[in-house]
Structure 1
Amino acid sequence: MKIFIKRLPSRFGVLLLAIFMMGCLPKAPGYPFRPASELKGEAQKLSDNLEDYIKKWAKGEVSARLPENILPKGYDTERFKNVRLVSFENIDPQEQWVTRTAHNIDFNKLYGSFPDPHCTYLLAPLIYAPFGSEMIIEGEFPYCRFFNIQTSPPFDGEGYRYDKFAGNGEVAIVDSDIVPKPGNINPFLPNGKRMAKNRSYKVTYKMAMGNANTLDPSHSTPYRGDGNVRYGSAIQVQGPWGIDTKSGHGRGIWDFGDVWIRYYGIDHDKFPTGGVSFPKIYFQLKTGEKFAIIADYEGFIEASEQTMANRNIGNNDPASYNGRDIGWDKQFGIFLQIATGGARALYKNTEADKAYVRNLHKGITGRGADMPAPASLEPHATGCNYHGYLTNGMSIKKGKVYVLTGRMPTFPNTRNGAQTLEPAQCRYWSMTSYDASFPFSKVAGLENTSIMDDEIVLDADRNYVIVYSRKEDRPRNATPENGVTWVDYGDTCTQAFTLRWVSVGPEWSFDKTPNELNLPWKRTTWSGSQYDKSIIGNNDRNGFLGAYHPVRHYMDKKKFEDLGINISKKSLPDWE
């Protein structure tokens, strides 16, 4: 099995290190860097040349290996080698996917690039096909809590996808909307038969040029639609950093597309692959030729398989930007969130600083709250369209503990072989933390802790008390018997937390769902032009989420032990 880590490009890691060392951020590129009409014209030429080559290959007139003049100038030649055509009959799904399987946290072997370890990720990192062709994905519904398919968006020339991780989000089809093959059952329907044996599907993406939302209205909140046809593109443009050798990689502006599949909350007896084989991907031209394009991914895998042990670094209380009054920030882009973290860590908090972060993000990705859809939508490159991502940071000094209290939304409790998928307030909920000093780490985005909904102790009102500490600082009363979930924080002092709140509306959603309608971009992320800290940014339950807002507490170990037994969120001091 090929394994990958959804990693930040090394060039970006070097850039971030320079930011923190030099105390400055890169110049914001102007938007647009080139007219969309020009980019569309060049993309169409790439498409036409590729289609002509595929037809010649199908007739036996040219080699299966694609020559450089057919490939997009800008793709990572170190990560993708020997790019070649494969006939339909010879497609092996094992060669199409690289995977990161769900796993338990092991402090001796931690993975990077901000994964949720309760999820198995399947990535087809190279799809390449002309406009007008169709991409077909055939597989089986996995045995898990949540499953979806996402493909790089249709080509519009307005939005960019820099180095596959920064830009517009993929176009998704979620488990419940997929029509199964004749004679099969979709186990993800509300109250559907989860254990059905016949569970095959077939999904089609039309490779298209145009606006994602015009082509397919399902590409907007709640990202639901009828039928098994969606729109995407296997040709992508990387924007100004594709030719910028100072801040970007400078390889060129063109790139392949990709496909992401996620299995969250896998049934225990089907762990970690969901109990199904890899799906098969193939393309079909309008003239009938069927094919796939694959590559040797060893360079990609070698760079991505690197792990690290938990780092014993730091011993300090939280900085002011992670302090007692700080709540949560809503994520609308990985690049935007990292740039925000860099600005806040440098104490750049003025309106001009926030405008700079917005302009930097817009110049590199073509995204922004003031842009037309899809560039103004919550989904962003490599993020899941059905997640509400909420983030903040924390530091824990030795001898102290960090506590989260709040109310858990209802979820379908499936991992022990439930027969049906019951409607609930959400589909999945997890809290994962990462080594926040990633610019100084050889593995970026190093996981440190993770806990999901059904692993958390709840009281009769679904309230939780989650205690984080180093092992030697675990309070004696931090036990399930006392209503407490304890998490080993490890030895890394400063960590970045991400709450993943997965909703599939309307069946697995409610009025507190943290989606872009309830928590709009301009108002709920730190750099937003109308940012209102009171919505989710304060450390209290007076904002939008109310009882469901995870409130942060910080105190001495002894202070927590003094709370005694039968601990509840009402007994916790605000911040000591």
Structure 2
Amino acid sequence: MRIVRAGLLALCLAGCGGNGEPEADVAPPQAEAFVRDCSWLSHEDPELMNVFFPDTQAHYWLGVFAIPPGGELLLEGEFPHARYMSFNLYDPTLAPFEGMNDVSIVPDAGSVNPFVPGAARDGDARRYTLRVVAEAAPEDPAQRAPNTLYAGIEGIPVPGGVIMYRIYVPDEGASLAGNVDLPDFRYFLPGGSELPVPDACAFLEQTRLGSGLNAQLASMNLSVAPIPLSPTDPLDWKRFHNPLLTVVERTGPVIGDLPIYDTLRGLALDSGLQGGFMSNRDNAYIAAAINNSAGELLVFGAQAPTTPRTYEGAPVMAAAQLRYLSICTVDFPTQRYWDCLYDEQLQRDGQDRYLVVISHADERPANARPECGVTWLNWGPLSAAAVILRNMLPAPGFLQAVQQIEALDTEREVMQDYYPYGTYTDRVAFEALSIDPQGGADACRVDASALLQRARG
């Protein structure tokens, strides 16, 4: 297990990113040269690395730090022009154990935090300062110092580690970093003396961390590994709690009818593990296996939670049920994504309900397009895949968020109208749901009510 964890951590140090182009109406920011402080070792690069189930609208910067004995690390930066930002620290299992998101950060004197609901998003004064200390976090959250990340784990001081900086949905026309510089690392000794950050940029650029990883993963052909990805019809979404539970649940098609299956699931849930795969503390996920053995294409729909619409540069941060929602198709064995869409790309009807079709590109129905009330997502090149739905930072009163799912098999009960009921069909049958699948908005409008009712059982 230690060898596996070390290998995963080595992969992580190469950066977290993805490849492929999302097929949706709002395009992500274009790729650009990676400019950063030398302490930021890597930025997601579609040509190098697509692992840990990334999201096309999220941009990741990975850094390492070593705090001087008795000293501290300061991260000084500006709030980006974007939907969301956060910092996460990771343990050797690649689970986040400490973090701080945008609304938790107190801005510097004279500056404004643009992520607070109701705040102006376009102000010039937007600076902040974070402290990173080696101590473990106080057991009482009320005793935490403001704007402080604690690197210690399980009560033990840890003077170094891995930090990930995330930005989601930069504003239209903004850089990947949201039109601000990346945060600066500043190290201080006891007494206040500052240590210079080593100038390692030239070496890091030459090494191109993660180079060739995508090709290596493809050559390993892990997608034919004996990991069960048998589908269910109707679609059966499960909340992601930790990697151990995910592995156990992948054995469901083989041992699901045996009493030991539920015993193993319970043990995995109660193992104390939280998160994994370099996950984000502010996200919660449900996922489902999909397979063409059950049908040519997958259809699912649900009530859409409200989210702030920021891509076009909204002047004020709106309050909403979620900060962000996305849906991705992925390859479970290699942890690659095939395609993603996020909340502003979801086509909604007059009641804020959405309908998603997942198929291979050459099997896409003619009426699987926005003017017909449908959002399309690429299945990917393989017959077996998985689909992941993310919920980020739910409002305290939004009790149907994925974050509220605590017990096993309560996804439908908790999410209610926001649970995405889904079933399989084929292109001919789906196109028959429109008067004219090739026609304009009125003629091609899809009525999938009977299909979704079948999915509800």
Normalising by structure 1, we get a TM-score of 0.63
Secondary structure class of the residue paired with 1:182: coil
Q: Which residue does the alignment assign to 1:264?
A: 168
Would you say 1:137 and 2:25 are equivalent positions? no
Q: Compared with structure 1, are the counterparts of its residues 349 and 140 closer, same or farther at alpha carbon in structure 2 (3 Å cutoff)? A: farther
Secondary structure class of the residue paired with 1:340: helix
1:301 deviates by: 2.8
Q: Distance in 2 between matches of 1:492 and 1:202?
A: 46
Would you say 1:369 and 2:270 are equivalent positions? yes
Q: Compared with structure 1, are the counterparts of its residues 504 and 201 closer, same or farther at alpha carbon in structure 2 (3 Å cutoff)? A: farther
Taking only aligned residues, the RMSD between alpha carbons, in angstroms, comes to 4.0
| C-alpha contact (below 8 Å) 2:118/2:316 kept by paired residues | yes
1:465 deviates by: 0.8
Would you say 1:572 and 2:442 are equivalent positions? no
1:556 deviates by: 1.6
Q: Which moved more, 1:191-200 or 1:108-117?
A: 108-117
1:424 deviates by: 0.5
User: Considering only CA atoms, is the larger Rg found in Structure 1 or Structure 2?
Assistant: 1
| C-alpha contact (below 8 Å) 2:249/2:265 kept by paired residues | no
Amino acid at match of 1:98: L
Amino acid at match of 2:308: P
1:482 deviates by: 1.5
Amino acid at match of 1:178: I
| C-alpha contact (below 8 Å) 1:181/1:201 kept by paired residues | yes
Secondary structure class of the residue paired with 2:163: strand
Would you say 1:278 and 2:151 are equivalent positions? no
| Unmatched segments (≥5 aa) in structure 2 | 15-34, 435-443
Q: Distance in 1 between matches of 2:257 and 2:279?
A: 26
1:447 deviates by: 1.2
Q: Which residue does the alignment assign to 2:211?
A: 302
Q: Distance in 1 between matches of 2:303 and 2:178?
A: 29
Per-residue CA distance 1:142-189 (angstroms, 9 max, x = gap): 11111111234xxxxxxxx33x51x4x232221112121222221111
The match for 1:328 among 230, 233, 237 is 237
| C-alpha contact (below 8 Å) 1:235/1:255 kept by paired residues | no
1:194 deviates by: 0.7
Q: Counterparts of 1:373-388 in structure 2 under 5 Å?
A: 378-380=274-276, 382-388=278-284
1:492 deviates by: 1.4
Q: Compared with structure 1, are the counterparts of its residues 213 and 514 closer, same or farther at alpha carbon in structure 2 (3 Å cutoff)? A: farther
The match for 1:229 among 143, 148, 151 is 148
Per-residue CA distance 1:388-442 (angstroms, 9 max, x = gap): 1111110125971111211110000000111011001100000112113x2xxxx
Would you say 1:193 and 2:120 are equivalent positions? yes
Q: Counterparts of 1:86-235 in structure 2 under 5 Å?
A: 93-101=36-44, 111-124=50-63, 126-129=64-67, 132-152=70-90, 161-162=91-92, 164-165=93-94, 167=95, 169-209=96-136, 212=137, 214=139, 216-217=141-142, 227-233=146-152
Amino acid at match of 1:183: G
Q: Distance in 1 between matches of 2:7 and 2:87?
A: 31
Secondary structure class of the residue paired with 1:554: strand
Q: Distance in 2 between matches of 1:546 and 1:434?
A: 25
Q: Compared with structure 1, are the counterparts of its residues 486 and 110 closer, same or farther at alpha carbon in structure 2 (3 Å cutoff)? A: farther
Q: Compared with structure 1, are the counterparts of its residues 79 and 383 closer, same or farther at alpha carbon in structure 2 (3 Å cutoff)? A: closer
Q: Compared with structure 1, are the counterparts of its residues 272 and 207 closer, same or farther at alpha carbon in structure 2 (3 Å cutoff)? A: same
Amino acid at match of 2:335: G
Q: Counterparts of 1:494-573 in structure 2 under 5 Å?
A: 494-506=384-396, 510-515=398-403, 518-520=404-406, 523-524=407-408, 533=409, 535-536=410-411, 543-564=413-434, 565-573=444-452
1:349 deviates by: 5.5
| C-alpha contact (below 8 Å) 1:236/1:256 kept by paired residues | no
Amino acid at match of 2:133: K
Secondary structure class of the residue paired with 1:472: helix
Q: Compared with structure 1, are the counterparts of its residues 110 and 179 closer, same or farther at alpha carbon in structure 2 (3 Å cutoff)? A: closer
The match for 2:328 among 432, 436, 439 is 432
Q: Distance in 1 between matches of 2:7 and 2:149?
A: 37
Q: Which residue does the alignment assign to 1:248?
A: none
Would you say 1:339 and 2:253 are equivalent positions? no
| C-alpha contact (below 8 Å) 1:78/1:300 kept by paired residues | no
1:256 deviates by: 4.7
Would you say 1:473 and 2:346 are equivalent positions? no
Q: Distance in 1 between matches of 2:270 and 2:105?
A: 30
Per-residue CA distance 1:74-118 (angstroms, 9 max, x = gap): x969979xxxxxxxxxxx953111344587xxxx99823311111
Q: Compared with structure 1, are the counterparts of its residues 510 and 121 closer, same or farther at alpha carbon in structure 2 (3 Å cutoff)? A: same
1:445 deviates by: 1.1
Q: Which residue does the alignment assign to 1:406?
A: 302
Amino acid at match of 1:116: D
Query: What is the identity percentage for the equivalent residue pairs of Structure 1 and Structure 2?
Result: 21
1:450 deviates by: 0.5
